[in-house]
Every structure is written in C-alpha cells, then in structure tokens.
Amino acid sequence: MTLTADRNETAPRLTEMMQRGVVEVCGKKKDSLTGRKAAVYQIVEDEDDVE
C-alpha cells in the first residue's frame, strides 16, 4: 500500500523487484486520473528464478 498516488513512491521498489525477477510488466492500462498509459505489473510465479 502507498500513502499517495505519486509514482515516485513506488518506482524505486518496482525497479528493484523487476531487476530481481520478482515482478514483470504484463501490459499497459490507461490511468483514470491522468489519462496517460501506465505499466501493469504482475508477480512472477516461478520462484526458482528469483535471486
């Protein structure tokens, strides 16, 4: 959970988790507040590949 809708609060952690193979981008979705497309992430199911 984040305290605000600010991307800067989650971006560093998402980058770290992507580099470790914990999450991956699975698509894009239009943001209802900004109208811009944003990445949608999903948890990588195969835990054997995680560092």
Q: Are the C-beta atoms of residues 41 and 24 closer than 8 Å to each other?
A: yes
Q: What is the dihedral of CA 49, 20, 18, 45, to 10 degrees?
A: 30
Q: pTM higher than 0.75, yes or no?
A: no
- Which secondary-structure segment (H or E) carries 20? helix 7-20
pLDDT tier at 1, thresholds 50, 70, 90:
low
pLDDT in tens, 21-41: 999 999 999 988 889 999 999
Q: What is the pLDDT of residue 49?
A: 54
Distance CA 20, CA 33 (A): 30
What is the C-alpha radius of gyration for the chain, rounded to an integer number of angstroms? 12
